[in-house]
Amino acid sequence: MTSTQPTDRFGAFGGRYVPETLIPALDQLEAEYAAAQQDESFRRELSTMLSTYVGRPSPLSDAPRLSERVGAQVFLKREDLNHTGAHKINNTVGQVLLARRMGKRRIIAETGAGQHGVATATVCARYGLQCVVYMGEEDMRRQALNVFRMRLMGAEVVPVRSGTRTLKDATTEAIRDWVTTVTDTHYIIGSVVGPAPYPRMVRDFQAIIGVEARAQVLERTGRLPRSVVACVGGGSNAMGVFHAFVPDADVELIGVEAAGEGLESDRHSASLTRGAPGVLHGALSYLLQDETGQVHPAHSISAGLDYPGVGPEHSFLKDSGRASYVAVRDDEAMEGFQLLSRLEGIIPALETAHAVAWVAREHARWTPDDVVLLCISGRGDKDVAQVMDMGILDT
Amino acid sequence: MASGSVTISSDRIAQRFAELRRANRRAFVPYVTAGHPDVARSVALLQGLESAGADVVEVGVPFSDPMADGAVIQASSQKALEQGVRFDQVLEIISRASLAIPVVLFSYLNPLLRGGADALQRAADAGAHGVLVIDLPLGADPEREAWFGDGPLAFIRLVAPTTPQERMRAIAKTGSGFVYLVSRLGVTGVRDELPPDLPETVARVRAATTLPLCVGFGISRPEQARAVGRLADGVVVGSAIVRAADESVEAAVSLATALRRGIDGE
């Protein structure tokens, strides 16, 4: 599908819109990644780390009570059971191994909800690398436990006080660090965003989600799912679970964005649903922006979806019609959060709760024979304090 | 007629450097963020910089996410945005300043893309002569690079200390007006020392192109400007001017006068 495209693009989207200073580092990363993919010892080390440290393969759980509620056979891909509690570590392990190959001993990362920061701090501790995580001050408040986890594992967490003090500004700040330290530092971007080769590389490291899930669903049901559903902020768990299914034309791929306080409210994070193509953080992709090209602040109840951009491959899948993107409000996500907890004994991350809520809301589209694969991208422990403070059980 | 105005607009920068070269002088190139501290003072500042002896002026287009800029320019950008300064207002400020010296737009890509297909022509009509796009390196987007390269403004391209020699040559070939050398790794901002490898980097750029060479990032004091002027054809000073402008237009103009003298070796 993309064979005639330049390798740094997904259709018209992607590219490398960065200061000149970073171009040689991106060239080096691209070359090193290509070499690593061909290198048997790299693949073996990655695979060993994924099985003995991350805990892969992650299980595919059936969800009998949710299935009954929805009226379809819902299966849950359990990325919440990975070490550190989310899919993020799949990518972090791969990129730390690459950084080691490149001889870079200092790692920087941005984080929103803190899941990517925790995953990065974790793998850096495992390999004895210096780790600096940029995090918006507002997110540090919302996710204080993850800040503590990162510090406990020896990472430095730098509060970002510019702009909206969330993931967008943490990413900008990480790029500023990288422009200054690029010769000895590797920047581990946590999603399928940023300049090439990041979107493709992060997708490849996350693609194991879909590869495993596709085989697991086939083994359990003897057929492919009718629908694959995942939440989308930057979009790494969604790209990870979608990728193996892209050639399966009969499988619908559905990304669930955060509609925040409503798509008409101006306070949401639905870049694909409501944005327009633009350039942010090194890539051309759908973007929340005003008519003069200034980035519009995003909003979501979940820090991990609170980002005005989205991975360029999602923009391509949207425009080509291969995937559909929908949006779920904060209050609906809260319902999804409780629904999965009560029906299946699984407390999902607030990000994941958006995908859960959409499946519950759209139940009428499926018949009892349909198989629905829902990616449980992370667990909700990090969100429990925030949700408790909202008093949802007080009535 | 249109092609006539194209030539005049983009050649003004080349003419300026040719004049300076004949006089054995170095260009003083201050940077200001358009609309900072406010629209009226921004116009006054541009005029004051011209009187203080600027040869070319860089005018920053405010952007919400300036990833190549340090705290000073980021804050000035934010301030300008809060006062409603967008691409159209930037052009209005340039037009109102009505300068005799060439004006170079310094911008991130997204506000220019959103300016529409005629954005560059409107900029030229307002009195801009060149454009520098911080997040559009060579090869990033051939179609949009061609839009800048074939447009009415000189397309100023950037090289960095990390740029390999062959790439420097390729970059310079696609640019016009002058080449902007980012003096160091990092974002814009005031630094105490010049990078020790600057002479070597300048020599590499010289070997790659005959275009005039301006050096920026981290230069704030007259003696630093003088040292850079010994190596390059022009000296760009940004954050120090913007920081002074936070205080007053007069403070920024008086710093500019001192920098001009420093470069001239007075």
> Can you tell me the distance from the alpha carbon of B16 to that of B87, in angstroms, rounded to the nearest whole number?
26
Length of chain A, in residues: 395
Instruction: Please report how the helices B198-208 and B165-174 are oriented relative to each other, as an axis angle in degrees rounded to 10.
Output: 60
Q: What is the mean pLDDT of residues A123-142?
A: 95
Model pLDDT, residue A2: 34
Note whether A292 contacts B: Cβ–Cβ < 8 A.
Answer: yes
Q: Which of B65, B68, B135 sits opposite A168 (nearest CB)?
A: B65
Name the average pLDDT for chain A: 95
Active-site pick, A88, A104, A168, A318: A88
More confident residue, A163 or B143: B143
Helix (H) or strand (E) holding A260: strand A252-260
Model pLDDT, residue A4: 40
A267 CB-near residues (< 8 Å, 6+ apart)? A260, A261, A299
Report the residue of A17, A110, A183, A280 to disrupt the B interface, i.e. the one with the largest count of B CBs within 10 Å: A17
Helices (H), chain A: 23-38, 40-49, 64-70, 88-101, 115-127, 137-142, 144-152, 167-181, 198-206, 208-221, 236-242, 271-274, 312-320, 330-344, 350-361, 384-389
Model pLDDT, residue A1: 37
* Inter-chain CB proximity A20 and B163 less than 8 Å: yes
Model pLDDT, residue A349: 96
Model pLDDT, residue A38: 96
Residue stretches of chain B with pLDDT short of 50: 1-7
Report the residue of B91, B107, B162, B166 to disrupt the A interface, i.e. the one with the largest count of A CBs within 10 Å: B162
- Picking from A27-31, A164-168, A170-174, A225-229, which range would have the lowest pLDDT averaged per residue? A164-168
Closest A-chain CA to B72: A162
* Inter-chain CB proximity B110 and A280 less than 8 Å: yes
Which residues of chain B have a CB within 8 Å of the CB of A162?
74, 78
* Inter-chain CB proximity B114 and A19 less than 8 Å: no
Which residues of chain B have a CB within 8 Å of the CB of A293?
63, 87, 110-115
Helices (H), B115-197: 119-126, 142-149, 165-174
pLDDT per position as a tens digit, A16-52 = 999 999 999 999 999 999 999 999 999 999 999 999 9
Q: Which residues of B12-39 are buried (b: 16+ CB within 10 A; e: fewer)?
A: bbbebbeebeeeebbbbbbbbbbbbbeb
pLDDT per position as a tens digit, A108-132 = 999 988 999 999 999 999 999 999 9
pLDDT per position as a tens digit, A176-222 = 999 999 999 999 999 999 999 999 999 999 999 999 999 999 999 99
pLDDT at A318 over 50: yes
pLDDT per position as a tens digit, A339-355 = 999 999 999 999 999 99
pTM of the entire predicted model: 0.95
Shortest distance, CA A244 to any CA of chain B (angstroms): 28
> Can you tell me the distance from the alpha carbon of B161 to that of B159, in angstroms, rounded to the nearest whole number?
7
Q: What count of CB pairs under 8 Å joins A to B? A: 119
Model pLDDT, residue B5: 43
Model pLDDT, residue B10: 64
